[in-house]
Structure formats: C-alpha cells, structure tokens
Amino acid sequence: ETGVTQSPTHLIKTRGQQVTLRCSSQSGHNTVSWYQQALGQGPQFIFQYYREEENGRGNFPPRFSGLQFPNYSSELNVNALELDDSALYLCASSDFYGYTFGSGTRLTVV
Amino acid sequence: AQTVTQSQPEMSVQEAETVTLSCTYDTSESDYYLFWYKQPPSRQMILVIRQEAYKQQNATENRFSVNFQKAAKSFSLKISDSQLGDAAMYFCAYRAYGGATNKLIFGTGTLLAVQP
C-alpha cells in the first residue's frame, strides 16, 4: 500500500491569486474526495471524483474546481483566492471498504 | 440534510483511565455508516472505528468501543486504558449508504488530552 500523498504541505498565497493542490491516490482506489478544514472545525466536503469524472459536490462556489487523472491522482484548483479560503485541505482516496486520508495542505491566504 | 454534532469541544482523561466522547447525528435514512476518526498533530485522519447502522452489535477495536443507539441517533466512543498516544482531535462522521458519493459528514471534533 502506498498511502495518500499531498503536496505541497504548506503554501502561502495572496488574495486574488490561484492555487493548485495535488493528491496521489492509494493503490487500488479509484475515487478521490477533497475536504476543507477551517481552524477549529471539522472537514467540509468540497467534491468527489470517480474515474476522472466529478460525481458529487458540496456547497462550494465554482472557483473551486478539480481534476482526476487516469492513475486516479487528483488536483484541487482554487481561483480568485479569498482570505476565508485559508484552511487545511485534505484529500481522501476510497473504495467500497474505506478511506485513506493524506496529511493535508495548509493554505494561508494573505 | 444530515448533520453530526459533537457537544464536547475538549475532554481530559488520566492515563490508564476510561473516557467517553459523545456524538449525535440527524438523518432520515435507515441505512448508513458511522465513523470515529482521530486527527493527531500530523493532521492525517486515522480511522478508529466504524459502525454499520444495520448491525445491532456495537463495534469494538481493542481499547476502543462504541455505544450505538440508533433510535436516539447517538454514537459515543469509549476509550479504555487511555494512553498518551491517544491525545488528539477526535471526529465523529456519517456516511450515507449507497448513493453516488462517498461523502463524509463530520462533526466539529473533540480535543482529547491525556494526563500522565
């Protein structure tokens, strides 16, 4: 098992900029989900990708977008960054049996 | 919409003692999954225990056990013989059975401190 790797681990961006976060998938998992965890809060579901298609989305605006690649790795893109986008972004790959989370990317928007 | 509530922002336990973390949830579904996750300072969510709603028997994993009360929509986690390594943020989570997504709905978490 390879686990889930997220990059980068930390990132500082300026309001209005764009950011791309990356996530590898656990071997054998074809589904990837992204979560936003604000300080002191539980993770909030952003969206999910299954076999390169988005098949579920939480209450996040369109400036949050993503991709999944043929090897099931994934990207989260956020355009026009706002201060409130500062958070820990978690990626989780999954199959029917369960989830494997990465250690997250800490994004700070200044 | 489904919701998960954790009413204890912080808890403290002495090493080797037992502590119970509370979680309630709201759903109109009859089949679903419930989870407890641990998030240490490394930030990675680690599965502690999982319960299928159709199973009446409470799940147990070594020192960790749950008290699942389906009618009351309550899902508490009991940690026995607490160890220093148990100190972390604990999240209760819900997932619907079936459906298009594997979306997890998390509570706001309980920060557990373990005193030596």
Encode pLDDT of B37-55 as tens digits: 999 988 999 999 999 999 9
Residue B100 pLDDT > 90, yes or no?
no
Residue B69 pLDDT > 70, yes or no?
yes
Residue B98 pLDDT > 80, yes or no?
no
Residue of A nearest to B108 (CA): A42
- Give the three-state DSSP class for A83: helix
pLDDT confidence of residue A2 = 66
Q: Chain A interface, mutation test: which of B104, B105, B108, most A Cβ atoms within 10 Å?
A: B104
pLDDT confidence of residue B61 = 93
Q: Which of A15, A34, A6 is nearest to A80 (CA)?
A: A15
- Is B102 close to A43, i.e. CB distance below 8 A? no
Residues 6 or more apart whose CB falls under 8 angstroms from that of B17 comprise: B81, B82
Below-70 pLDDT ranges, chain A = 1-2
Confidence class for position B101, pLDDT limits 50, 70, 90: confident
pLDDT confidence of residue A25 = 86
Q: How far is CA A18 from CA A47, A82, A84, B94, in A?
A: 18, 10, 14, 32
Residue of A nearest to B34 (CA): A98
CA distance B34 to chain A (A): 12
In the DSSP assignment, the letter for residue B109 is -
Q: How far is CA B58 from CA A25, A79, A98, B116, in A?
A: 31, 45, 18, 29
CA distance B15 to chain A (A): 25
